[in-house]
Amino acid sequence: MRNGLIHRVLAVSAAAALAACSPGGGAAGPTPTGTASDGTASASARPSAPATPTVPPDVETTEPAPSPPLESPIGTGPGQGNVELAIVVTPSETEPAINYTLVCQDGAPAAESKHPQADAACTALKNHPAILNAPARSTDRACTQQYGGPQRATVTGIVDGTPVDVSFARTDGCQIAAWNAAGDVLGPTGGAL
- Secondary structure in 3-state letters for the chain: CHHHHHHHHHHHHHHHHHHHHCHHHHCCCCCCCCECCCCCECCCCCCCCCCCCCCCCCCCCCCCCCCCCCCCCCCCCCCCCCEEEEEEEECCCCCCCEEEEEEEECCEECCCCECCCHHHHHHHHHHCHHHHCCCCCCCCCCCCCCCCCCCEEEEEEEECCEEEEEEEECCCHHHHHHHHHCHHHHCHHHCCC
In sequence order, what are the residues at sequence separation of 6 or more whose Cβ sits closer than 8 angstroms to the Cβ of residue 110? 103, 104
Q: Where are the domains of the chain?
A: 1-53, 83-135+142-190
Task: Give the pLDDT of residue 192.
Answer: 43
- For the chain, how far is it from start to end, CA to CA, in angstroms? 97
C-alpha to C-alpha distance for 7 and 123, rounded to whole angstroms = 78
Confidence (pLDDT) at 145? 81
Position 69 scores a pLDDT of 39
* Residues contacting residue 78 through CB under 8 Å, at least 6 positions apart: 126, 127, 128, 129
- The highest-level CATH class for domain 83-135+142-190 is alpha beta
pLDDT tens by residue, the chain, 193 residues:
555 555 555 555 555 555 555 555 544 445 455 555 555 555 555 555 555 555 555 555 555 544 443 444 565 667 788 999 999 999 998 999 999 999 999 999 999 999 999 999 999 999 989 898 866 565 566 777 888 889 999 999 999 999 999 999 998 888 898 999 999 999 876 444 4
* Nearest-angstrom CA–CA distance, 163 and 174: 23
